[in-house]
């Protein structure tokens, strides 16, 4: 459901990238964008309202047996990053945060399933580093963290394709039908690496 909402928002053609990580989505506008005359309050209002309405409309498609009990609400904030480097540093931090939280949550819930209480699981993981968590998952539960689905480790990046790509239900895959150039697609990719931006220079006219 997460990425289908982003697809709807990016259909506006005003937003060039929509990474979605564990704490929620970010929406990237081009530096030269004149959306709502660059009035941050109007931009936030428009995106938040579109996001919320799409969330409500699509709820039944993903949870047909679960009624939406309360009307959702989402807040937002606008930040004007002065350089591409600072923007990319922010996006990299968001993706790293996604990995850190996913790794912790995977360890935490595996410990709970093994019989520990939530408090015991929190105490067990306190102060542990990435390598220790990987060893825990491997030795005690037979899970290799780096083989977990990319969507959990990398999050979702929603972007407009510059070239025709293979997709299925909007998600980039291999060996499937080709979507037209300029279509909005979802990829669970590493946006920290420079290679992503070199492959998609049209997103920010990045060089």
Domain of residue 68, CATH code: 3.30.70.3000
Q: Are 145 and 102 in contact (CB under 8 A)?
A: no
Query: What pLDDT, on the 0 to 100 scale, is given for residue 157?
Result: 86
Query: What pLDDT, on the 0 to 100 scale, is given for residue 207?
Result: 45
What sign for the dihedral angle of Cα 195, 196, 201, 205? negative
* Phi then psi dihedrals of residue 157, to 5 deg: -115, 120
Write down the residue that tokens 């998952």 correspond to: 137
Task: pLDDT tens for the chain, 207 residues: list them.
Answer: 555 555 555 555 566 676 666 667 888 888 888 888 999 999 899 888 888 888 888 888 888 999 999 998 888 899 999 999 999 999 999 999 999 999 999 999 999 999 999 999 999 999 999 999 999 999 999 999 999 999 999 988 888 777 555 545 545 555 444 455 567 788 898 999 989 988 888 888 754
Report how many domains make up the chain: 1
* Phi then psi dihedrals of residue 43, to 5 deg: -65, -45
Is position 127 within any domain?
no
Is position 207 within any domain?
no
Q: Where are the alpha helices (DSSP H) in 68-168?
A: 84-113, 118-125, 130-141, 150-154
Query: What pLDDT, on the 0 to 100 scale, is given for residue 134?
Result: 97
Cα separation, 117 vs 175, in Å, equals: 44
Is position 10 within any domain?
yes
Cα three-residue angle 182-41-184, rounded to 5 degrees: 15
Query: What pLDDT, on the 0 to 100 scale, is given for residue 22?
Result: 61
Domain range for 6: 2-80+155-199
Query: What pLDDT, on the 0 to 100 scale, is given for residue 46?
Result: 87
């Amino acid at each position: 459901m997460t990425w289908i909402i982003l697809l709807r928002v990016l259909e506006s053609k005003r937003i060039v990238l929509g990474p979605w990580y564990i704490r929620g989505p970010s929406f990237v506008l081009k530096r030269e964008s004149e959306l709502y005359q660059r009035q941050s309050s109007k931009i936030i209002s428009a995106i938040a309202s579109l996001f919320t309405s799409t969330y409500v409309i699509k709820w039944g498609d993903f949870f047909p047996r679960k009624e939406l009990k309360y009307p959702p609400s989402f807040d937002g904030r606008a930040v004007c990053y002065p350089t591409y480097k600072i923007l990319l540093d922010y996006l990299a931090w968001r993706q790293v945060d996604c990995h850190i939280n996913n790794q912790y949550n995977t360890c935490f819930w595996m410990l709970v399933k093994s019989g520990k209480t939530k408090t015991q699981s929190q105490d067990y993981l306190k102060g542990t580093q990435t390598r220790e968590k990987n060893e825990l998952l491997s030795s005690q539960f037979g899970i290799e963290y780096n083989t977990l689905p990319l969507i959990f480790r990398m999050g979702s990046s929603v972007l407009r394709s510059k070239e025709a790509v293979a997709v299925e239900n909007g998600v980039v895959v291999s060996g499937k039908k080709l979507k037209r150039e300029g279509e909005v697609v979802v990829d669970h990719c590493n946006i920290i690496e420079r290679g992503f931006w070199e492959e998609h220079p049209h997103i920010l006219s990045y060089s």
